[in-house]
Structure formats: C-alpha cells, structure tokens
Chains A and B, each alone.
Chain A
Amino acid sequence: MTVAEQEITDYVARVRAALADLPPGQRDELTEDLADHLTEVAAEAEGTLVERLGEPETYAAELRAAAGAAPGSGRNLDQRVASAVARVRGRLRTMDTRLGPPLGYETASDFLQLLRPGWWVLRGYLAAMLITVISTGGSFGLLPRFGGELLAGMIMLVGFVLASIWIGRSSGRLTRWPRSAVQVGSVVLVVFAFAALIQAEDRMRYGDYGIDPTSVNGPYDQVRDVFVYDSEGRLVENARLFDQNGNPIRLGYPDCEGRVDEYGNPLLRPYPYCVGRAPFGPRGPGVSPPSAPAAISTPTPESTAAPTSGPTGTPTPSGTPGEPSAGPTVTPSDTPTPTPTG
C-alpha cells in the first residue's frame, strides 16, 4: 500500500467514523465509492487530501448535508428506541388526561397518586405474606406467620409495612439502582399476590375451609344404602326404587364386597347393596330355607316385631341367609320391573 493509498484509507475511515450515527446501510451507501473518488482527487492535484479537502470530519458534515442525511432523518437503533419510548409516553399522557375526568380528577395519575400510601401498606403486607409462604413451606392463611409463629409474623408485618412506607416516601431520593430494585421487587410481589389469590380462590370453591358440603346439599347425600321392609317387617331384597317419571332413584353406592360382579352397572343394582348391614333384624322369613312357604300364610310372631323391635327379635332357626334368593320366597323377583309409561 502506497503512502497515498494509506492516506486515502485513513481519510475514508475518519469520514466513516464521523458518520457512525447513521444506519450502517446508509453509511455504506454514502461512502462506498469514496475511496475511488478520493483517488481521483489525489491524482488530479498536488498536496495532501487534508490540504485539498479539509478535515475528514468537516468533509463528513458537508457530505451528510449534501446527501440529505442530517441527524434525525437517518437514525440508529438507540435513536429509534428512544423515539418509540417517546411515542409510548405521549400515548400514555393522552390516556392519562382522557381517563382523569371520568374519575373526577384532572388526570388519572392525580387519582393514582392518592392511592400510593395504600399501595405502600399493601406492599408491606404482601412482602410479609411472601416470607410466610417461604418460611412455612407453602401453606398460608390470611395473617402472616414466621415459621408458623403468629406473633413473629405480626411483628414482621409491622416492620415490613413501616419499611415499605419509608421506601415509598423516600423513593424520590433513591438513585438509579435502588430504585430499579424496588420496582423489580414490587413486580415480584404483585405476581405473588395474584398467584396467592388464585390459590385462595380455589380453596374457597372446593370447600377446603372445613365447611361440610352435605349441610348445604340434599338431605340424602349421607345415605349410603337403602333397606326396604314390607308390612310384615321383612327385609325386601332386590328392591328397586323409581320416581314418578320412572327414572331409577339412586342413593348411596355399593361399597361392600361380593355382589358387584353380578351387576356390572351400579345403576342396575337393586337395594340393599349390603344385606348384611340391615339396620333391623331379624331377617324376615322370606329368606328362610324350604320351610319358608308356610311362613307366607302364617307369619311368625317374631317377624311382626320387626322392624321396630329389631334388637329383641329372635333369629329364626334357619337364620343363616348367605344366599338371599335360595328357595321360594316372597321377595320380588329379579326380573320384573315396573315399566315406565310415557
């Protein structure tokens, strides 16, 4: 590289440096044949480039003006970000003044300013609750606790609220980094507050506060099985219940062993589900072995006692009814079911 070439290269570099605030594309476009051009200039006349053309910075300024690339028309990223921020600020200001009157204030921010001390107190409370959640490992109520200790939690609450108020009152004097830290912390607390509210909402909806759901629902919610007795006090087995529309009435749920396989669909299972749990004994003669037919015409004294005198009733001699349907009985058969009409 000759001295002249070196001189030209340096000159171009300094011009480009002076145009550094332009977008790279525009700067390249402006200076792409500057070196060639300067070579011409250097070849045509005596003297150094600086003597002929002036300082590169002056040259750059003239070039910028002639090319119509004054600062502001061609902008780099920083300038574009700055102008975008300015635009957003302008919009917010417009919104601020628009929203003010409906609230009864000149601007919405006038109104929000009044709420600031309230936010400071709330922020202190939220900080205490955040510590509560962290120190107790996730469970929390409405009051702050420190490691489960309510008193310590209350002291912490007072301390945090006072500190938050102090920070709020002195925020104007904070330097940049502490101010940013406070803002980040506030955002964290707001996010935490929303998460906690959602969790609390879920707990309320699913009655996790000790409210027994049966007390507010139907009176049959606690019924687990149904036992039907006929006029003779005999337990009716394989009974089915229907409402006025012919819809089966389902109460309780079969939770005893043994008979589930017989009726795959629990809706088809007749009552009682669990014969062995009949509240009144003895079991009627209807379930007694072969001698039972006699019992139909001549009810035994014992059977009349049921169901009111359950405990005093004496078991029938054959009272080992493992198989309810054994032998001829008076129990309703399994098959006939009332046919809904209409």
Chain B
Amino acid sequence: MDTTQLLKGVLDLAVLAVLREEDGYGYDILRRLREAGLEEVGDASVYGTLRRLFAAGLLTTYVVPSESGPHRKYYSLNAAGRDQLTRSGKLWRSFATTMDSLLDDRGMAA
C-alpha cells in the first residue's frame, strides 16, 4: 500500500486542515502539505481538490495582486468548510483509533 492511495481518501481533510490555520493560494497549499509530511501529494491532486471543494461551496476565493509575479487566487475556509473539517476530522480520528487498536491487538508496534 503506498501513500498515494491513502491520500486519495483524506486529501480533502488535509487541504481543509491546512487552510484552517491560514488562507493560501494553490502552490502555497501544496508546499504546506509537503512540509507537513505529505511528500507524495501531487500538484494536480491538490489543484483539483481545491477546485472541487470550491465548487462544493466549502471554500471562498479572493485574488491578491502581486508585484513580483502573477495575481494569486487565495482560498479560505468558509463556515461550511469549517463544519466539514470538524466532521471529517472526527471521522478520521475515530477511524484512525480503530485502525490503531486493530493493529495493536495484532501486536504491531506503532
């Protein structure tokens, strides 16, 4: 099992979590995810996830003009996005706990 497969299920949650602390633009979010340890996350995946979460009404965007480079489209969590983050976070925690205890029972070291 490689991380990419696991990421598919939780990338939404990861993106929402990264945006919770601070608004960000596409490449910025990607970098933050990688810094957080999700090295294998793909650029297109993050970009596509952002577009989908935006279309689902969980994110709002605003454009920040930049002197050096192109205008940047920033994404930020709205109320629905924060809601979703809370719910998905709880779900993940309970799932992770279940998986942890399952592995613990079988004598796997963490």
Contacts and interface: CB of A to CB of B under 8 A. Distances in A.
A226 interface: no
A39 B11 contact: no
A100 B25 CA distance: 63
Contact of B47 (A34, A43, A44, A52): A34
Interface hub of B11, B44, B69 (most chain A Cβ within 10 A): B44
Contacts of A43: 69
B27 interface: yes
A33 to B, nearest CB: 5
Interface footprint category on A: 20 to 34
Contact of B44 (A44, A62, A68): A62
B49 interface: yes
Nearest to B73: A33
Contacts of A63: 44-45, 47-48, 51
Contacts of A10: none
Most chain B CB inside 10 Å of its own CB: which residue of A58, A64, A66: A66
B71 interface: yes
Interface string B22-36: 000111100100000
A327 B75 CA distance: 119
Nearest to A31: B51
A36 interface: yes
B27 A66 contact: no
A190 interface: no
A66 B71 contact: no
B46 A66 contact: yes
B27 to A, nearest CB: 4
A60 interface: yes
Q: Classify chain B's interface size.
A: 20 to 34
A68 B31 CA distance: 22
B72 A66 contact: no
Contact of B48 (A33, A36, A41, A64): A64
A223 B26 CA distance: 102
Interface in A8-41: 29-30, 33-34, 36-37, 39-41
A64 B52 CA distance: 10
Contacts of B47: 34, 37, 63, 66
B27 A67 contact: no
Contacts of A37: 25-27, 47
B104 interface: no
B44 A59 contact: yes
Contacts of A41: 27, 43
B27 A40 contact: yes
A67 B43 contact: no
Interface of B: 8, 11, 25-28, 31, 42-49, 51-52, 55, 69-73
Kindly list the 10 A-B residue pairs having the minimum CB-CB distance in the complex, ordered from nearest.
Answer: A66-B48, A40-B27, A62-B44, A67-B48, A63-B48, A63-B44, A66-B45, A37-B26, A59-B44, A67-B52
Interface of A: 29-30, 33-34, 36-37, 39-41, 43-44, 52-53, 58-60, 62-68
